[in-house]
Amino acid sequence: MEVRHSDDHQRADGYRYSTGSNIVYEHIELKPLSLSPKGRGFLDVLILYLMRNITLIVIHCSAVKPGQRSSAEDIDRWHRARGWKNGIGYHYVVRRNGDVELGRSLDEVGAHCKGHNSHSIGICYEGGLDEQGKPADTRTPEQKLALRLLLEKLHDQYPVAVIVGHHDLNPKKACPCFDVVRDYIDLEPGPRITRITRIIL
């Protein structure tokens, strides 16, 4: 799996990268967020919990046809054109070839699901429309694998977070054009999911 990067530093979510580099990972390794350069202390953990208590991981599609591109750079440009000065609203973008591209840092509030941004992580896969421009599950095998690996790591890091699709939180949206809760039921936080999905669905 390849993770592409654009500048030179180590992000809070554990990815290290340098300008123009393409780093190939056998698996995605996410490290706990750190508010301290020397690592997390008890106070760091407490502050981080109060600042970003992640209870949702929300899956989106980029709503592009098979021949259209939507990289993290593209989405960042689109979102800035809409007046979002912080750029891309998602934390991750999963490309058709399985590359996972980084958006906002995990310690930053996203802009991907109204009413839920403060306590969620947003993941967007490239696609979501068929050739006619209608909503469709267009995930490639590479995307499905990369998305599952990413969700498994995030589930380890945020074990109480419920994994849902944008549609589950806003029924007017077709996004992400597949049943997220069904596909990742094994990664949901145990008995809580029964109660929560009854509210969402």
Active site residues: 60, 90, 166, 172, 175
Other Cβ atoms closer than 10 A to 66: 13
In 3D, which of 126, 129, 161, 170 has the Cα closest to residue 147? 126
Q: Which residues face 163 on adjacent strands?
A: 57
Q: Which helix or strand (DSSP H or E) is residue 133 part of?
A: none
Distances (CA, A) of 41 to 46, 114, 149: 9, 32, 28
Does the N-terminal peptide bond of residue 189 adopt cis geometry, omega within 30 degrees of 0? Answer: no
Spell out where the chain has E strands.
2-4, 9-10, 16-17, 22-24, 56-61, 92-94, 100-102, 120-125, 162-165
